[in-house]
Amino acid sequence: MKKILYIFTLMLSIVLITNCEENTDSAKILEINYVGFESKPLLGVDPTATATEEIKIATSNTTSADRTFNIVVNTDMTTADASAYTVPSSVTVPANSNIGTFNIDIVGPNVNPSGDDILALDFVSQEGLHIGATMEINLKQVCPNPELILDITFDGFPEEIYWRIRDSSDTTIFESATPAAFGAYDGLTGGISRAMCLASGSYTFTIFDGYGDGAGPYSLTFDGEVIYASDGVYGDGESVSVTIP
């Protein structure tokens, strides 16, 4: 919204300055038909839920009738998967107003955990309409609770590791590879750290070793406290109960 206010303030300043010099030019400036998005650089969403966010647009003038502006996803600039968002095809500015609103639905599970997803929106061109800059929104998973952290230190055969987390209904929530398979860490050295957002409830963490002799130390940390640690000698696998308050 700050960007829109800045543009309108600049336009008003131009009008005031030119008004002293030539009324005709200032009148033309006031007639500029402009529409722009508010500034919305980041939208955070629970990785396990869907969030609805209101977006505002503003025009440079008002009219006595409703006005509809068409919206389009800029596919060249958008990096987010289409399943991660829902955007309406248009937005209406009511009569005698210069502000309109529309909602974007963000599907948390479909947002890339990397935090690099971008959703870019444009207005569809209309004759005589001046359009503001493309709106770029960073879509990011934001956990409302402390995250469960899995740290694994690899032995010499990291490709033998497979792990998963299942909820109380035995549904797999997170796993090292999808579909379930060994080899996710083939060729890696050192170890990995994985942060996972879980809703309150009971879960079971299970780790497997394809060779059957354990595959390196690991730990589970929640809210800064190590709730389980293993020296990595767990044979072909083991399960740990985890409760998220």
Same domain, 175 and 86: no
Q: What confidence category does residue 16 fall into, taking pLDDT thresholds of 50, 70 and 90?
A: very low
CATH number of domain containing 132 = 2.60.40.1740
CATH number of domain containing 177 = 2.60.60
Same domain, 137 and 154: no
Has residue 2 got a pLDDT over 80?
no
pLDDT at 32: 84
Has residue 84 got a pLDDT over 70?
yes
Same domain, 135 and 152: no
Same domain, 124 and 202: no
Using the 3D structure, point to which of 141, 173, 190 is the last residue of a domain: 141
pLDDT at 6: 44
Whether 119 is in a domain gets the answer yes
Same domain, 54 and 135: yes
Report the side by side order of strands in the sheet with 42-45. 42-45, 135-141, 117-123, 67-73, 90-93
Q: What is the distance between the alpha carbons of residues 120 and 122, in angstroms, rounded to a whole number?
A: 7
Same domain, 158 and 206: yes
Range of 92's domain? Answer: 33-141
Nearest to 218 by CA among 159, 167, 163, 181: 163
**What is the distance of C-alpha 10 from the center of its chain?**
32
- The 8-class DSSP code of residue 94 comes to P
Asked whether 56 and 99 are in contact (CB, 8 A), the reply is: yes
Same domain, 169 and 195: yes
Same domain, 126 and 197: no
pLDDT tens track for 104-156: 999 999 998 888 999 999 999 999 999 999 999 999 999 988 999 999 999 99
Kindly list the distances between the CA atom of residue 206 and the CA atoms of 148, 201, 220, 239, in Å, as whole numbers in the listed order. Answer: 14, 16, 11, 4
Same domain, 152 and 233: yes
Same domain, 167 and 220: yes
pLDDT at 179: 82
Q: Could you tell me which residues are beta bridge partners of residue 103?
A: 54
Has residue 11 got a pLDDT over 70?
no
Q: Kindly write down the DSSP assignment for every residue of 215-244, as one continuous string.
A: -S-EEEEETTEEEEEE-S--TTEEEEEEEE
State whether residue 201 is helix, strand or coil: strand
Own/partner long-range contacts of 109-114 (Cβ < 8 Å, ≥24 apart): 109/47, 109/48, 110/81, 110/83, 110/84, 111/45, 111/47, 111/80, 111/84, 111/139, 111/140, 111/141, 112/80, 112/81, 112/84, 112/139, 113/47, 113/141
pLDDT at 25: 52
Has residue 3 got a pLDDT over 50?
no
pLDDT tens track for 196-238: 888 889 999 999 999 999 889 999 999 999 999 999 999 999 9
Q: Considering the entire predicted model, what is its pTM?
A: 0.66
Question: Omega before 179 cis (within 30°)?
Answer: yes
Whether 111 is in a domain gets the answer yes
Has residue 1 got a pLDDT over 60?
no
Using the 3D structure, point to which of 112, 141, 170 is the last residue of a domain: 141
pLDDT at 180: 84
Using the 3D structure, point to which of 141, 176, 192 is the last residue of a domain: 141
Kindly list the distances between the CA atom of residue 135 and the CA atoms of 81, 87, 121, 132, 164, in Å, as whole numbers in the listed order. Answer: 17, 13, 5, 9, 38
Same domain, 122 and 213: no
pLDDT tens track for 18-70: 444 445 554 554 578 999 999 889 999 998 899 999 999 999 999 999 999 99
Nearest to 167 by CA among 194, 205, 221, 113: 205
Please provide the average confidence, as pLDDT, over all residues in the chain.
Answer: 88
| Total tally of structural domains belonging to the chain | 2
